[in-house]
């Protein structure tokens, strides 16, 4: 089969499209014929070797943490899945990923793919959708009527977070640029703060119960935003290289989120897509032969929106 691999850590040029053996599923595994994977920012960090501590890899490695595809072969002891089932999943960080024509996955980690969108596009859902869900509900315990600031709302995680928070009955304040303001409003934001116009913390009309930070901001900016969280509130942060500030005196807790695979949550997200309650936005669909270009653009800061990566045979 065709797959993209890197044999050493480094810049995007270490990524190579190669012929590799088609994997055989072991006990509890299925082989998925890949319809699509997606690019996530963590993929570039893994490729560059910046995640070797928390995410050791055996090289060569196939990237691609998200998968959408059809079950192609069953390992021993697998039940609940059948050949031809359309599935999505968030693959373990250390395993070979889905930038390939086929990938192995634990059967218990997969969820039914939404049927209302193209199967390849569903690859844009797992990692970022789970990040948003876990931030809002596992960690922030978001409740109806609460005010939440989504800082970095125009990104992939932010788009899901805005939609999910609005559906939960929260009042959603989102940061965006003038170029992405309409997008964030369409996703359900009640208020939009232009983060390019000045101090976001000063622009907040009143404090919030929940601060979800998805943006790379300075420690000073983070502290200023944290000060606008109500007593007893919570800060959930995905920029884990810069820990979130907390304020014990005011009872403000902070969580640095590491997303985990959860097929039940992923199935719920898929169901919401099919009910029309959650929109999957795709900026581009790119063949895996062009993955070097995707990583290069990400490093240059010229990559915008969610990128679905298609197998060569697509």
For 247-272, what is each residue's pLDDT tens digit? Answer: 899 999 999 999 999 999 999 999 99
**pLDDT class for 113, splitting at 50, 70, 90?**
very high
pLDDT of 171:
98
Percent of the chain with pLDDT over 70: 99
| Mean pLDDT, residues 152-165 | 95
Q: What whole-number distance in Å separates Cα of residue 100 and Cα of residue 69? A: 11
Question: pTM of the entire structure?
Answer: 0.95
pLDDT of 313:
56
Structural domains of the chain, with CATH: 2-125+280-310 (3.90.180.10), 128-256 (3.40.50.720)
Please determine, for residue 220, whether its predicted confidence score (pLDDT) is greater than 80: yes
Neighbour tally for 161: CB within 10 Å: 31
CB neighbour burial string for 75-106, b if at least 16 within 10 angstroms, e if fewer: beebeebeeebbbbbbbebebbbbbbbbbbbb
Say how many CA atoms lie within 13 Å of 310 toward its Cβ: 12
Q: What whole-number distance in Å separates Cα of residue 151 and Cα of residue 158? A: 8
Whether 312 contacts 101, CB under 8 Å: yes
**pLDDT class for 55, splitting at 50, 70, 90?**
confident
């Amino acid at each position: 089969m065709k797959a993209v691999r890197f044999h050493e850590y480094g810049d995007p040029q270490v990524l190579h499209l190669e012929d590799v053996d088609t994997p055989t599923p072991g006990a509890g595994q299925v082989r998925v014929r890949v319809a699509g994977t997606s690019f996530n920012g963590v993929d570039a960090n893994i490729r560059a070797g910046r995640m070797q501590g928390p995410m050791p890899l055996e090289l060569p490695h196939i990237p691609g943490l998200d998968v959408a595809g059809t079950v192609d072969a069953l390992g021993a002891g697998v039940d609940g899945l059948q050949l031809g089932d359309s599935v999505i999943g968030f693959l373990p960080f250390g395993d070979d990923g889905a930038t390939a024509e086929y990938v192995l996955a634990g059967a218990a980690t997969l969820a039914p793919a939404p049927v209302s969108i193209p199967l390849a596009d569903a690859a844009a859902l797992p990692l970022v959708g789970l990040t948003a869900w876990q931030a809002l509900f596992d960690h922030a315990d978001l409740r109806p009527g609460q005010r939440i600031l989504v800082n970095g709302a125009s990104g992939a995680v932010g788009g899901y977070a805005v939609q999910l928070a609005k559906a939960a009955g929260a009042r959603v304040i989102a940061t965006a640029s003038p170029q992405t303001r309409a997008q964030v409003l369409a996703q359900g934001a009640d208020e939009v703060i232009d983060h390019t116009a000045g101090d976001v913390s000063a622009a907040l009309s009143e404090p919030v119960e929940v601060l979800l930070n998805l943006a790379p901001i300075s420690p000073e900016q983070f502290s200023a935003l944290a000060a606008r969280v109500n007593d007893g509130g919570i800060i959930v942060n995905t920029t884990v290289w810069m820990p979130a500030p907390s304020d014990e005196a005011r009872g403000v807790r902070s969580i640095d989120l590491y997303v985990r695979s959860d097929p039940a949550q992923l199935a719920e997200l898929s169901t919401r897509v099919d009910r029309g309650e959650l929109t999957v936005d795709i900026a581009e669909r790119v063949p895996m032969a062009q993955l070097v270009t995707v990583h290069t653009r990400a490093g240059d800061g010229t990559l915008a929106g969610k990128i679905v990566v298609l197998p060569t045979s697509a």
